[in-house]
Amino acid sequence: MKRYILLNPGPVNVSPRVQQALLRGDLCHREEEFSDLLVAIRTKLLRAFVPRDYTAVPVSGSGTLAVEAMVSSAMPEGRKLLVINNGVYGERMLHMAEAHRIPTVELRYNWTERPDLSQIESTLQADSTIHAVALVHHETTTGLLNLVNEVGAITRRAGRWLLLDAVSALASEELDMVRDGIDLCACTANKCIQGLPGVSFVLVSNAAMVAMQQYPQRSLYLHLPLHWEAQERRSIPFTPSVQAWYALDEALDELLEETVAKRIQRYHAAAHLLRDGFARLGLKSLLPPDLQSHSLTSLLLPEGMTYPLLHDGLKERGFVIYEGQGKLQTGVFRVANMGHLTLDDFRQFLTALEAILS
């Protein structure tokens, strides 16, 4: 089968070692070997991202499942969730809260703007029934990086929880869960962690997990305390995607060997190389540099070029790019730099891009 270099924001290219992990063999999830795998993954997640005072809850399913488990589990009865909405994924958290009949307050911003910090602060001051703030770290819609540290300082001062969708940010952007005051953080295996689709996870502060045990159970499948209680007994409530968990286990070994700090540096170097190349080719970014994440660039389609033409030409040459999303579907295309790729892969992509644009 032809190997494509995936420049979409997940699922990403993984290493041969992670692919090989799929072949560890068939396994019943009620056997000791699965319990060992579960414990290994939970331990490695904490070692990589937050060694103290937190617990890790892996769940089978895509990133959306982890985010919805976070949103639906972290809210006491009758209290509100303040959702910061500056992209598709902020909007999705709002819809999740609504689906679970959780009262919400929305602060909506332009997709190319960061949220107004003083407005978040005054909204929390004015409404004591707001229990938590939901924020997306990296809005993959555009590649905009939200300032978790600043929002975390506000939520901490106000004594509210911070729920973070870090699905496309964890392991590519700097994040200190304790310093930034993050109570719950949802992520997936198949983006910057460089595992395969089918497993995701939520990191939860121990204090939040204790509190959440008293909160309403809005869903059987998504209730995090239910998963956590079973996992603490080396078990899980439902059938997991075992092979995806094998791949995550291997991907976490790779991450710990590379170190999170070096993974972040590698992604930053790739983003810089790509952005220098885009500028050389006369392509314009949707966002100014100070708003951009380090794992995805949204670019304006040049005059006279259509997305299908660009996409198909690149795919013929072995590269898969991604179209714009939502109201940016036309006129914008996206290039991610996530996954098991080298700077040489990105140089070859720029050469192919140049050939098509000229």
Ligand X SMILES: Cc1ncc(COP(=O)(O)O)c(C=O)c1O
The whole-angstrom separation of Cα 108 and Cα 86 is 6
Tokens of 358: 């000229």
Smallest distance, Å, CB 10 to ligand X?
Answer: 6
Smallest distance, Å, CB 28 to ligand X?
Answer: 26
Q: Tell me whether residue 8 or residue 149 sits nearer to ligand X (CB atom).
A: 8
Closest CA to 224 of 234, 237, 239, 233: 237
Q: Tell me whether residue 140 or residue 205 sits nearer to ligand X (CB atom).
A: 140
User: Which residue, chain included where needed, has tokens 């939901």?
Assistant: 134
Smallest distance, Å, CB 60 to ligand X?
Answer: 12
Smallest distance, Å, CB 338 to ligand X?
Answer: 10
| CA angle, residues 109, 301, 142, in degrees to nearest 5 | 30
Q: Tell me whether residue 144 or residue 350 sits nearer to ligand X (CB atom).
A: 144
Which residues sit at the interface with ligand X, rule CB under 6 A? 9-10, 62-64, 67, 89, 136, 140, 165, 167-168, 188
Query: By the 8 A CB rule, do 141 and 325 touch?
Result: yes
Tokens of 236: 């899980």
Instruction: Check whether the bond before 103 is cis (ω within 30° of 0).
Output: no
Is 161 in a helix, a strand, or coil? strand
Q: Tell me whether residue 168 or residue 243 sits nearer to ligand X (CB atom).
A: 168
Q: Tell me whether residue 44 or residue 92 sits nearer to ligand X (CB atom).
A: 92
Smallest distance, Å, CB 139 to ligand X?
Answer: 7
Query: By the 8 A CB rule, do 71 and 102 touch?
Result: yes
Termini Cα distance of the chain: 29
Smallest distance, Å, CB 295 to ligand X?
Answer: 10
Query: By the 8 A CB rule, do 164 and 148 touch?
Result: yes
Residue nearest to ligand X (CB): 63
Tokens of 7: 């420049």
Q: Tell me whether residue 86 or residue 155 sits nearer to ligand X (CB atom).
A: 86
Smallest distance, Å, CB 144 to ligand X?
Answer: 10
Q: Tell me whether residue 64 or residue 219 sits nearer to ligand X (CB atom).
A: 64
The whole-angstrom separation of Cα 182 and Cα 357 is 43
The whole-angstrom separation of Cα 281 and Cα 348 is 14
Sheet with strand 322-323: strands edge to edge: 296-300, 332-336, 322-323
